């Protein structure tokens, strides 16, 4: 066989990737071939010349990160993961978008080796990349450049830049001066609806320059690997700000569907695929063609990273750093025994659960090495103001207090990126009502099982005077409906400490729902860690067989306790006995076996739920609920709660009525 030159084998490899980008969507009759075809040279340069990565060790901590924010072009990423040796096979490429395949429609972290973040909803990967860049800088400041010294590369699209989250993320990244963050904007001028000019004529370079980014307009060089490499290396050298390279590409190049919406979102069709393969010098009638010399070339490129990862491990072993702290940070956990530092609160004291969380964070922060805490403004209000923290900034890259500004959506996306980068355990706060602004990012954190903690405060109409625009009603049911998200609404300060411990020690995301208003510390909650860990427990059992169970969460548990005393007094009507149940986390409770759940909610005993939120969902646990299925009102919190029936007298009356209805 005639030996091919390096230039020839590279061009052949790029064209082979274009062939896979056409074949996989064609076979699946679903997918996005055009962007992958256009960006094959860029990805080739990144995976073979630029990025420090080791396919044999995809989780090597000091690898460069690659984020395909325009995740619809997933076949591009899968092709290079297959070719460079990340464990994907050609059969996996053939099974693109099929049931159980390793090559789903959009990249999914933990599902496919080499995928760093779950992307697809446009703009999310953009924010994740900022989180990764922030994590890299923070870890470098914390542990030193000997063990942390890498870049984050993000490919994004016009759709990413149109979505509002990209504006938020770009603004913050520029403000923080995050270097080692290299973005390439695929400026292909095509959306599914048609030319981008239908809705978009931003000057991207000017926009990002205004945000404080280093920008370059590369122009018509999408097929010039030498120019692409030079531009990427120039951007990598920028240490004091993020970089944006604007690349004019032609979607679907060199097919007859080039520069059309059809090349964006639909398979090209067998005739067009065949014709395009002829143009590219590929066998026109052979699907998924990967010649041995191309595969060997890419595998050798992948193997180059093995020496880099080996050298890093030697540097790591020799580095004079706290290896125990490093391991805890990488695991997103506390040092052994960290939970012993958590405060215990005395029964009868009055404390808002947001304030209790702040005390818990301050007490344990030094023993959670990867802890980075922030808020979308409202830092003191959200219980996330570190007593001994320093502000993350260009002057203090190791600062562990992040001021996200009024940017809830990007805070969520950045936190996910930080967590999936590894080495950082991010905590972020905002009012619970504004979780609506960050919901898409929270959903992807849940889908990715990113270890993040949300401090969602001002959790009910009890926040008061700000009124219905700021009073969450339906948000609690909505967050509980999200798979993979652990939602904990503690009844008092002690349950808050238990919830913080659970959030740190558990995998995946946790949302803590905390009060603005002071609550009494309840007797018995100091020893209730196991009950909270199980999602629910009997806080106050009846003296005998209960006539009714009063189950509450958060600030309403105190009302259940007060109502129990009224029921026991027997006026009006006969005396009734009641169990009081605190059910702070439905998700954890659902994981318990039936026997345990029946000890908490005994079958045959009527159950009244008391919660200042929408009733949706309570039917699974309760026979009736005192809930709010309408918007709130502007008045002092205690007044609003009283007008909506959140008093001990009304809870007792509702319980009596339920018992009466339940009698045969």
Give the residue numbers annotated as catalytic, written as ranges. Answer: 408
What is the C-alpha to C-alpha distance for residues 473 and 628, in angstroms, rounded to an integer? 7
> What residues pair up with 66 in beta bridges, in sequence order?
153
On the question of a cis peptide bond just before residue 572, with omega within 30 degrees of 0, the verdict is: yes
Q: Which of 170, 130, 155 is nearest to 249 (CA)?
A: 155
Place of tokens 């989780």: 59
- For 252: left if phi > 0, alpha if psi spans -120 to 50, otherwise beta; the answer is left
DSSP 8-state secondary structure symbol assigned to residue 249: -
**74-84 vs 6-28: helix axis angle to the nearest 10?**
130
Which DSSP state fits 572? S
DSSP run (H or E) holding 582: strand 578-582
C-alpha to C-alpha distance for 213 and 331, rounded to whole angstroms: 32
Residues 489 and 477: their CA atoms lie apart, in Å, by 12
At 578 the three-state DSSP class reads strand
What DSSP character marks residue 466? T
- Spatial separation of the C-alpha atoms in residues 415 and 409, rounded to whole Å: 10
Q: Is the peptide bond before 254 cis (omega within 30 degrees of 0)?
A: yes
Question: Is 263 in contact with 34 (CB distance < 8 Å)?
Answer: yes
Phi, psi of 534 (to 5 degrees): -90, 0
Sheet strand arrangement including 65-68: 65-68, 152-157, 181-187, 243-248, 214-219
Q: Tell me the DSSP string of 378-425.
A: -TTTTT---TT--B-SSS-TT--EEE--S-HHHHHHHHHHHHHHSS-E
H or E stretch at 493: helix 493-505
d(CA 134, CA 423): 11
Terminal Cα-to-Cα distance of the chain (whole angstroms): 90
């Amino acid at each position: 066989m005639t030996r091919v030159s390096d230039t020839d084998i590279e061009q052949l490899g790029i064209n082979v990737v274009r062939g896979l980008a056409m074949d996989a969507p064609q076979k699946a009759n679903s997918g996005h071939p055009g962007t992958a075809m256009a960006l094959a040279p860029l990805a080739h340069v990144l995976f073979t010349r630029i990025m420090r990565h080791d396919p044999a060790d995809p989780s090597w901590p000091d690898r460069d990160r690659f984020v395909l924010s325009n995740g619809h072009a997933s076949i591009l990423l899968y092709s290079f993961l297959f070719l460079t040796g990340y464990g994907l096979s050609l059969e996996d490429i053939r099974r693109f978008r099929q049931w159980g395949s390793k090559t789903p429609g959009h990249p999914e972290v933990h599902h496919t080796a080499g995928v760093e973040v779950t992307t697809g909803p446009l703009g999310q990967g953009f924010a994740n990349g900022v989180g990764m860049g922030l994590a890299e800088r923070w870890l470098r400041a914390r542990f030193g450049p000997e063990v942390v010294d890498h870049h984050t590369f993000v490919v994004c699209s016009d759709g990413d830049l149109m979505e509002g989250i990209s504006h938020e993320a770009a603004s913050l990244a520029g403000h923080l001066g995050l270097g080692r963050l290299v973005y390439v904007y695929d400026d292909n001028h095509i959306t599914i609806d048609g030319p981008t000019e239908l809705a978009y004529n931003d000057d991207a370079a000017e926009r990002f320059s205004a945000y404080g980014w280093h920008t370059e307009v590369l122009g018509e060089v999408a097929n010039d690997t030498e120019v692409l490499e030079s531009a990427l290396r120039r951007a990598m050298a920028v240490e004091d700000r993020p970089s944006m390279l604007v690349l004019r590409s032609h979607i679907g190049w060199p097919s007859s569907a080039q520069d059309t919406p059809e090349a964006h979102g639909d398979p090209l069709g067998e005739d067009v695929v065949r014709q395009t393969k002829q143009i590219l010098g590929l066998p026109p009638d052979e699907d998924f063609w990967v010649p041995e010399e191309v595969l060997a070339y890419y595998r050798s490129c992948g193997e180059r990273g093995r020496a880099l990862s080996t050298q890093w491990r030697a540097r790591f072993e020799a580095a004079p750093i706290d290896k125990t702290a490093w391991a805890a940070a990488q695991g997103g956990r506390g040092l052994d025994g960290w939970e012993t530092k958590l405060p215990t609160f005395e029964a009868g004291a009055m404390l808002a659960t947001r304030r209790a969380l702040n005390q818990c964070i301050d007490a344990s922060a030094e023993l959670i090495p990867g802890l980075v805490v922030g808020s979308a403004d409202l830092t003191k209000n959200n219980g996330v103001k570190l007593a001994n923290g320093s502000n993350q900034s260009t002057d203090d890259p190791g600062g562990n207090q992040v001021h996200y500004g009024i940017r809830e959506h990007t805070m969520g996306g950045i936190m996910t990126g930080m967590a999936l980068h590894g080495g950082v355990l991010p905590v972020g706060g905002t009012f619970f009502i504004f979780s609506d602004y960050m919901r898409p990012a929270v959903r992807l954190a849940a889908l990715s099982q990113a270890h993040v903690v949300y401090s969602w405060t001002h959790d009910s109409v009890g926040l008061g005077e700000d009124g219905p625009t700021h009073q969450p009603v339906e948000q609690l049911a909505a967050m509980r409906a999200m798979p993979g998200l652990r939602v904990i609404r503690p009844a008092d300060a002690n349950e808050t400490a238990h919830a913080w411990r659970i959030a740190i020690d558990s995998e995946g995301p946790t949302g803590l729902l905390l009060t603005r208003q002071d609550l009494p510390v309840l007797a018995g909650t100091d020893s209730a860690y196991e009950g909270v860990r199980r999602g629910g427990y009997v806080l106050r059992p009846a003296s005998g067989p209960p006539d009714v169970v009063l189950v509450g969460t958060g600030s309403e548990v105190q009302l259940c306790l007060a109502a129990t005393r009224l029921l026991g007094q027997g006026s009006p009507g006969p005396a009734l006995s009641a169990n009081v149940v605190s059910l702070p986390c439905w998700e954890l409770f659902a994981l318990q076996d039936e026997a345990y759940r029946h000890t908490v909610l005994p079958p045959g005993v009527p159950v009244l739920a008391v919660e200042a939120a929408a009733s949706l969902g309570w039917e699974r646990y309760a026979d009736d609920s005192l809930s709010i299925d309408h918007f709130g009102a502007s008045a002092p919190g205690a007044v609003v709660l009283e007008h909506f029936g959140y008093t001990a007298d009304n809870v007792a009356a509702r319980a009596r009525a339920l018992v009466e209805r339940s009698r045969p």
